[in-house]
Amino acid sequence: MNIPFHPEHAFAQAEVHARPFPVVRAPLRVSHLAFLTGEGTPEDHHPQLPVLALLCAALHIAPPLKAGVRFFEGSNGRVTLRWHRHTEFCSLTIFCSGPFDQPFDQTALDEIPVAMQSNLGGLVVAACHIALQQEPNPPADVERTQKTFDGHPLIGSEVVEANAVLWTDLRPRDSDGFTRFLIQNRTLSDARAGRLIQRIVELETYRLLALLALKPARLALPKLAGVDDRLGQIIEELAQVDDLPGERRSLKQLAHLAREVQHIRATTDYRCRAAIAYQELVDRRLTELRETQITGVQTLAEFLERRMRPAIRTCVSVSARIDRLSERIDHASDMLRTRIELTIEEHNQDLLTSMNRRADAQLRLQKTVEGLSVAAITYYVLGLGKYLLGGMKEAGIETDPELVLAIALPIILSIIWYAVRRRHSRLDQDGDPN
């Protein structure tokens, strides 16, 4: 069929099946690591891809066939590798099937050569070991299970409609930094057991990624308090500032505070908002576990609610406080800019009034000069006329120069005055009539 599909149709279809849940069978040991790589890592030259190829070679697993893969799963029959690239981190999960006596005496990570364990491709942000046992009727013996976790207080519950029991203490071991989870499977199928393991590793990864924001959020709190105090002082001082230099000085102080808040936002806001998003994923994974409480044991949801929620509230508070401070600084800056503009307008109005007074004075001076110029021009014209009459008398034409000049004086004066006024009238019509 020659049906034209959208160019991204195949990509959208493949994305739904890009991250399948593992299918596992007890007994099984799992080691999971999450590496913080950031969002700007290249697609085709990801720093973990060479490490993944070396791991595959060491475990005799066929490596990825193409560059730029975001998900890979390979197995040699006993050991399975799952590598997945996420937005800002990559996860490596190692599954090792086979019986074991003690859940954590040996781990799936031990299948990787020791020389490679210290160079798996980045800084580890989350790491856990999981042991899956098949126990149709596991005894509710908290003390015996507690020995598996070195005597630490246990967190546990029946999960997935009581088809399995989950135990942990959420404490990283001093020896390797890994936390531990023990799953006692009652009646879960291989596929459901794989989904349970996937939810546990995601829960562990997301909760630690969420808590990465707590330290920068706490460091930002005193800085924000200092900015808040200085902003309050500037706003109080604005009521006493009534001159343009003082207003400009206050505006510079507000601009400095705005830069400081933006610097705090740049160092904390991304992680705080990411923490909120990761917390939502943690809540969703906890819901998917469908826990049932074991008598006398705190559930995973109860433990995380008490321990994680205050940290996330701190991140939410810091993010909201940054937004509020930015808004307050913007409002104060806008108000101050308005005041400065009004002050400048008043100064401009005073300047225009002064210019109008100068123009009026120049106009009066010009009119005075015009009167003098009319008299001067009349005087020069009469002087020329006097020479003309003197020449006529010398030529034999009898005239009385004094009488002629006396009669011509008002006529010449009127003509010159009329000509000057008419000229100014034309100039006024060609220019601004106001």
> Along the 434 residues of the chain, how does pLDDT read in single tens digits?
678 888 887 878 877 777 788 999 999 999 999 998 877 666 655 667 888 888 999 999 998 877 778 889 999 989 999 999 888 899 999 999 999 988 898 999 999 988 888 888 778 999 999 999 998 876 667 888 888 898 889 999 999 999 999 999 999 998 889 999 999 999 999 999 999 999 999 999 999 999 999 999 999 999 999 999 998 888 888 777 777 788 788 888 889 999 999 999 999 989 999 999 999 999 999 999 999 999 889 999 999 998 899 999 999 999 999 999 999 999 888 888 887 777 778 778 888 888 888 887 777 777 676 667 777 888 788 788 777 777 777 777 777 777 777 888 888 888 888 787 777 777 666 655 45
CA pair distance 97, 133, nearest whole angstrom: 11
Token representation of residue 361: 């004075």
Give the start-to-end residue ranges of the domains of the chain: 18-209, 214-350, 363-425
pLDDT of res. 371: 66
Q: Is residue 88 within 8 Å of residue 32, measured between CB atoms?
A: no
Pairing of strands 123-134, 179-185: parallel
Output the pLDDT for position 107: 93
Q: What b/e string do you get for 39-62 counting C-beta neighbours within 10 Å, with b at 16 or more?
A: eeeeeeebebbebbebbbeebebe
pTM for this entry: 0.76
Rounded CA-CA distance 107/180 in Å is 10
Q: What number of residues does the chain have?
A: 434
Cβ-Cβ contacts under 8 Å for 236 (sequence gap 6 or more): none
> Nearest Cα to 363, choosing from 375, 352, 355?
355
Residue 352: the pLDDT is 86
Are the CB atoms for 209 and 89 separated by under 8 Å? yes
Q: What is the reported pLDDT for 129?
A: 96
Q: What pLDDT shows up at residue 430?
A: 60
Kindly give, in sequence order, each residue whose CB lies less than 8 Å from that of residue 142, ignoring residues fewer than 6 positions away.
Answer: 154, 156, 294, 296, 297
Distances (CA, A) of 394 to 106, 314, 405: 144, 116, 17
